Amino acid sequence: MNKIDLKKMLFILGTPRSGKKLLKCLLDGHSQLLVWPDEIPYFAIFKSLEGADKKVSCDALNQILINSILKRIPNPSSKEQYLMLGDFSASKFINNASHLQNKRMSSIEYLLYIANAYYASYDRYKAINIKYFVLTCSGQGFDWSSQSLLDESTFIWVDRGIQQAYASFREKIIRSKKISLFDFFNPNLIKGAMWQFYLYELLQGKLKQHIMRDNFYLVDLEVLKKTPDKAIRDINNMIGVDYEKIQKNLTICNEYYDGNFIGKKIKSSTVINTSSELKIALTEFEIECINYIVDSKQKFGFNFHTLSSVIKTSFSNEVALKGNLKKNIVTTKMFQVLFGLILLYRLSFIVYSLKYRSPDSILTFAKDKYIHGLIN
């Protein structure tokens, strides 16, 4: 068993809701690909914990990464020595990852340390010299400043149209019922539309900057969904591994996975050429913002027509959510005008928000979102 180094690192990158998990699950189970079971904004987490020496103690990072494994195991508190995720021994991983708890490491040192601890914990790979260790890392959770990573590792960017990816993200947020459509347009909301527009603009820039690298591959999500068998064979050819039968199915640690459709009761471990249903269609304002990100030469501005579509859609949604209010109040012209003025005030900050949100705020959000997911 050879040790994993940067040349054996394969990162799956992309925007939120771009299909990264779909590709990860198609690569999982391949005899030459050791795939981490979760999507993790590793470098964002590391940055949030690092000290002045640009290092973090292994113990602090172990807690987060071990939790990411345990959250996938039913009843993880029962008999720790028998903890299994598919055919992967979580018990061995916890033991292997804990050897250097008090040591402080750089981001790359710890990444290779934990990758090799994972490798040593997976019995089916012990006698195999793997081609790649595969880590699904969101575009905003990757360290774009590391030249050694960019030069030595391999990258697959899963590309989904910005409009489709944004719509899927918004739908997931709205269906969670934690945020109304009205609140989603608040420029100060870190999970809202303004943050998404900035994030897509930022990641589009990263894609354009690195797409010509020899070690950087682009995978079209629509092609992957329409012709999965051919697409996965093409991807295998790009990274230099043979096609294996297991790749017909979506798996996590070699166990079948049913996917993560929104609003559809679909249970299938194979690729299905369909998209999550939208409960509320995108407004013209959102489409105009997205078109501006895709084509910066396009004129971007506020006009009554696009803003009124936002007001109308979000107002209707808000009223539906608050059906207990008296109809004679919520349907008055005065209420609608006030609602519209408040929303217009919020939206007027979009250009300011796009310009002044820092990359650090994106990294911090990626980390917070991930840790919140582990706790809840």
- Name the band, by pLDDT with cuts 50, 70 and 90, for residue 245: very high
* Residue 302: per-residue pLDDT: 47
Q: Is 80 exceeded by the pLDDT of residue 1?
A: no
Q: Is 70 exceeded by the pLDDT of residue 248?
A: yes
Higher pLDDT, 56 or 126: 56
* Residue 28: per-residue pLDDT: 94
* Residue 202: per-residue pLDDT: 87
Residues 2-20: what's their mean pLDDT?
94
- Name the band, by pLDDT with cuts 50, 70 and 90, for residue 330: very low
- Name the band, by pLDDT with cuts 50, 70 and 90, for residue 104: very high
* Residue 363: per-residue pLDDT: 61
Higher pLDDT, 360 or 56: 56
* Residue 324: per-residue pLDDT: 46
Higher pLDDT, 363 or 112: 112
Q: 176, exposed or middle or buried, with CB in 10 Å at 0-12, 13-18, 19+? A: exposed
- Name the band, by pLDDT with cuts 50, 70 and 90, for residue 350: low
Query: Three-class SS of residue 181?
Result: helix
* Residue 288: per-residue pLDDT: 80
pTM of this prediction?
Answer: 0.82
The model's pLDDT over 18-36, given as tens digits with 9 standing for 90+, comes to 999 999 999 998 999 999 9
Interatomic CA distance for residues 354 and 352, integer angstroms: 6
Q: Is 50 exceeded by the pLDDT of residue 328?
A: no
- Name the band, by pLDDT with cuts 50, 70 and 90, for residue 185: confident
Residues 117-139: what's their mean pLDDT?
92
Kindly state the percentage of the chain with pLDDT values over 70.
Answer: 72
The model's pLDDT over 356-369, given as tens digits with 9 standing for 90+, comes to 555 556 566 666 66
Question: In whole numbers, what is the pLDDT of the chain averaged over residues?
Answer: 81
Closest CA to 38 of 99, 96, 97, 88: 88
Higher pLDDT, 99 or 212: 212
Which stretch of 76-80, 274-278, 300-304 has the lowest confidence by average pLDDT?
Answer: 300-304
**Spelled out in words, what is the top-level CATH class assigned to the domain 6-274+360-375?**
alpha beta
Interatomic CA distance for residues 290 and 112, integer angstroms: 37
Report for 76-85, 102-111, 285-294: range of highest mean pLDDT: 102-111
Sequence-ordered alpha helix ranges (H) in the chain: 20-27, 42-49, 58-70, 90-97, 107-120, 147-152, 162-175, 181-184, 193-210, 221-226, 228-239, 284-294, 304-321, 327-330, 333-347, 350-356, 359-375
Query: Three-class SS of residue 158?
Result: strand
Q: Domain segments of the chain: what residues?
A: 6-274+360-375, 284-358
CB atoms near residue 42 (< 10 Å): 27
- Name the band, by pLDDT with cuts 50, 70 and 90, for residue 291: confident
- Name the band, by pLDDT with cuts 50, 70 and 90, for residue 240: very high
- Name the band, by pLDDT with cuts 50, 70 and 90, for residue 99: confident
Residues 81-86: what's their mean pLDDT?
76
Q: Is 90 exceeded by the pLDDT of residue 166?
A: yes
Interatomic CA distance for residues 166 and 282, integer angstroms: 9
- Name the band, by pLDDT with cuts 50, 70 and 90, for residue 342: low
